[in-house]
Chains A and B, each alone.
Chain A
Amino acid sequence: MAGTLPISVAGRRLTVTRWDLLAVLLVLGVMVFLAEASRHLLAPLADLQMTPISLDPANLPEYAARTTLRMLAALALSLLFTFTYATLAAKNKHAGLLLVPLLDILQSVPILGFISVTVVFFMSLAPGRVLGAEFAAVFAIFTSQAWNMAFSFYQSLRTVPTELVEASHMFRLSPWMRFWRLDVPFAMPQLIFNMMLSMSGSWFFVVASEAISVGNTTITLPGVGSYIALAIERRSLVAVAWAIGTMLVVILLYDQLLFRPLVAWSDRFRFEQEAGAVPPRSWVLDVLRRSGVVAHLGDQLSLVWRRALPRRLPRSANKPMVTWRDRDDRRMARLWTAIVAAVALVATWQIGRFIADGVSLAEAGKAVLLGVATLVRVDVLIAIASLVWVPIGVAIGTRPRLSNLVQPVAQFLAAFPANLLFPIAVSAIVAFRLDPDIWLSPLMILGTQWYILFNVIAGAAAIPAELRDVGTNLQVRGWLWWRKVGLPAVFPYYVTGAITASGGSWNASIVAEVATWGDVRLQANGLGAYIAVATEAGDFHRIVLGIVVMSSFVVVINRAFWRPLYWYAERKFRLG
């Protein structure tokens, strides 16, 4: 915004410019899209059977709209979850003791295996209506988006600069006001970055959540996901190509219309006060900002938001920042620990009994062994992906122009659901009579390897120019350069990427260890396949057993391997 503010606020002319027209078009377009895509929500479930999914590409715009709406609804839910859950975890010490580790566990639970369980629940909420199935799908997508957003928000809340906290106390901001004027703005850049990651990651779940089968009933919601499922069932390569094209368009659209503007807008919330690199730009944001009508409406809205809401909420009067007395504190903490321990015991008992009811000890042993098989697969794949992508990532990251080109491509590839490669994988394995135990594995890392590439590119781009100049000046080249400059500099970034990739691959194994193409079905021996098969059969005991085993694997590996490595990398190699 240009010009001196007081005058422009008072005297902003309300004449309509071409920017206004463009802005109004953008806003109206979004509203029409929302209305169109949500029209079907209240229709009875039987309607779905009447109009089955069709592979006709003409239907794809509608499917794409509905899928996108589901993803956006899930994103809105994730935001709501983030603002409540993470806030509680950060602001209430006692709640935090439980909520933070809980979030860690939730992050490692393979929700893909859990979809069938939640479907039953959501269908019962709105019996006989599409709404119930929609809820279930949105919930499944939500579970793939929410955790990392909540975690990033929690971490931001914990690192709000002390002096700003003190200033907001000093000026007696109400907790509500403080949340919106300090906490949320401070967390915004990180949160938006995580929203982008979440959107990419959730495509994987879209495919799994739109064609839901519980036992022998299958509900197919119109969308890109169910289109892909049908294409695979009918062995239509053309339809698969159409689906890939549609995804590309959708990803481009929400990137341009939603995330670019958000990133450009959130740049002002960066806390580092020095003007750093070139600020991100977005043509959509420029249009909205230049439009007088939008600005006027925005002013009115923000006025209402800023002034009306805080007035209604009671203000915590004159409380100092530290209210807990030491002794009360300890007593409360002990009580709280006792309650949590009791609940945990009951839960363990319940889960144990539930599993023991349906499966034998030998079955549990088998699940653990299969877990080891999947573990070997994940680890080997991460190792291979690292060998491939770290050098490439460093090469790209040290060339800024190249990395600008590669970033969006990598983002698209990260969103690419493994199912879309089933045709190629299955045909190749059948044609060459390969061993599915080995050759299905690459599908697991298909979507997740890009996190390694992303992070390494970011790390290489962050190597200070001076360090690189020193390398050149001292003629450090070849393997010596990689050993002393390149690899150490990107190591912390690499570890972050590898942690994400490893966690994601576990989750992906549920889809990737069983591949179908028409009536050909290939299956590898692994925990993912175990859960997938149990889900198809509607065997809840085995589903829960599989999920418990997988979560345990992920948590143990995170704690025993990745976390120490992460802290080692932070301490030793983090620059600046």
Chain B
Amino acid sequence: MSATAGLLEIDSVRQAFPRPDGGQLLVLDDINLALAEGEIVALLGRSGSGKSTLLRLVAGLARPTAGSLSYLGQPITGPAPGIAMVFQSFALFPWLTVLENVELGLEALHVPDAEIRQRALAAIDLIGLDGYESAYPRELSGGMRQRVGFARALVVHPNILLMDEPFSALDVLTAENLRTDFLELWSDRRLPIKGVILVTHNIEEAVLMSDRILLFSRNPGHIIEEIKVDLPQPRNRLESRFRELVERIYVAMTARPTAAPRTAPPPERGIDAVLPRVSANLMSGLIEAVAGPPYNGKADLPLIASSLHMEVDDLFPVAESLQMLRFAEIEGGDIRLTDAGRQFADAAIDDRKRLFQRQLLAYVPLAAHIRRVLQDRANHVAPKSRFLDELEDHMITESADHTLRAVVAWARYAEAFAYDDDSGTFSLENPS
């Protein structure tokens, strides 16, 4: 390796996908990153912030629309030897044994047979899979499967290891066990790798494992902040500096400019907002949790997240939906119930529905729009396609479908209007 060329350099990368209406959907904008030797960099952000897309660009599985990526000074034009990946879903070949799965990457490199066997066994040994060589993936637990994923990536002796949320499909204990084992091997310099890029939406995981965190935000995906983590390894989650850092990241992630404006927009406008698919039950649950002791109407997001065993990706959409309906406000890493939120918490089921309907029609323009169209029509019926077409003027087909389903779910809870999926029609009447 030459001294001047960096391990990995990403320069003003931009990624866009064509939209059905001919426009472009920007998923990544102006990304810059240099990975140094001996460094673990975490890409942290909510789903949809483009961090996985960036990882696939580095992996050579796709090419950027603009900008450049280079590995050891060479532009990345396809899967490069020396960059290996660990997948969220493990991506093991179910018809190959553990040993065969690990050997596969070496076979593709045309390494001599004897060396393949020796290196594969060494990798299996290193990662703690001894004795499992002849097992098929289906016989293994999730944690063991991901160990195979690690062994398979490490056996090709990559310079860079890419990790795509490698622990998020595992239960809490198994994930922690695997993280600790990995960090131990990394700190002892027993891994044949020089740098790691870790994609995650778990704030604590990022703080626990990485030397540097790049915070991603959405629409389009871009880096909003770079945070250095200079805590010594092994790190302790309960230590105050660790907690401070986690808290700071929560604040940074919630402080981004919110799409929802302070006052209600006129109902004709604003139907182009993509709605999250969050069930009314989840929203009620969070309101009750925040309203009850010990929070009494105001809660620290990291605290309530860990007490509810929810991760950022689960918690944020719910909190944001509450904010959109003005049941709560989010600021500085805190969630605080509004008057409507407190009323909701105290109300019985029928009153809750009435409150929900009021907020929904006042603050979700799409819901108000659909209801008004139905009221204007003589028979109070309208086909789904009418609204879907309208939404598709503003967003890609998939999001339009998502958004319509989200508003239907809320409207059903609120009894604001009805929808029949068989015929694809909206109506004002509920079956009586």
Contacts and interface: CB of A to CB of B under 8 A. Distances in A.
Interface size for chain B: under 10, 10 to 19, 20 to 34, or 35 or more residues?
35 or more
Contacts, number: 106
Contacts of B23: none
24 contacts: A5-B97, A161-B89, A163-B87, A163-B88, A163-B91, A164-B91, A166-B91, A167-B91, A169-B59, A169-B61, A172-B105, A174-B108, A268-B136, A269-B94, A269-B95, A270-B94, A275-B139, A303-B113, A306-B107, A320-B62, A320-B79, A321-B62, A322-B62, A326-B18
Interface string B213-245: 000000000000000000000000000000000
B156 interface: yes
A181 B95 CA distance: 9
Contact of A317 (B61, B78, B83): B78
Nearest 6 interchain pairs by C-beta: A318-B78, A5-B134, A171-B105, A163-B91, A167-B91, A273-B138
B89 A318 contact: no
Contacts of B99: 5-6
Interface residues of A, number: 40
Nearest to A178: B108
B2 to A, nearest CB: 20
B77 A318 contact: yes
Contacts of A170: 59, 61, 79, 83-85
A318 B96 CA distance: 25
Given A5-B133, A166-B91, 14 more contacts: A6-B117, A8-B134, A163-B87, A164-B93, A169-B59, A170-B83, A170-B84, A171-B79, A172-B81, A177-B108, A181-B104, A307-B113, A311-B110, A318-B78
B94 A6 contact: no
B221 to A, nearest CB: 18
Contact of B134 (A3, A311, A320): A3
Given A169-B79, A173-B104, A181-B104, A320 B95 contact: no
A1 interface: yes
Contact of A166 (B61, B78, B83, B422): B61
B67 interface: no
B60 A322 contact: no
Contact of A320 (B77, B93, B108): B77
A572 B422 contact: yes
A261 to B, nearest CB: 16
Contact of B138 (A1, A5, A275): A275
B137 interface: yes
Interface string A534-572: 000000000000000000000000000000000000001
B89 A171 contact: no
B131 interface: yes
A319 interface: yes
A530 to B, nearest CB: 42
Interface string B80-124: 110111011111011111010000110111100100010001000
Contacts of B105: 171-172
Nearest to A3: B134
A319 B78 contact: yes
A307 B107 contact: yes
Contacts of B78: 317-320
Interface of A: 1, 3-6, 8, 161, 163-164, 166-167, 169-174, 177, 181-182, 185, 268-271, 273-275, 303, 306-307, 311, 317-322, 326, 572
B63 interface: yes
Contacts of B134: 1, 3-6, 8
A251 B108 CA distance: 41
B92 to A, nearest CB: 8
Nearest to A6: B133
Name which of B59, B87, B94 has the most chain A CB atoms within 10 A of its CB. Answer: B94
B26 to A, nearest CB: 15
Nearest to A320: B78
A182 B91 contact: no
Contacts of A164: 91, 93
A317 B79 CA distance: 9
A6 B105 CA distance: 18
A175 B158 CA distance: 22
Contacts of B77: 318-320
Contacts of A174: 108
B153 to A, nearest CB: 8
Nearest to A173: B108
A6 B107 contact: no
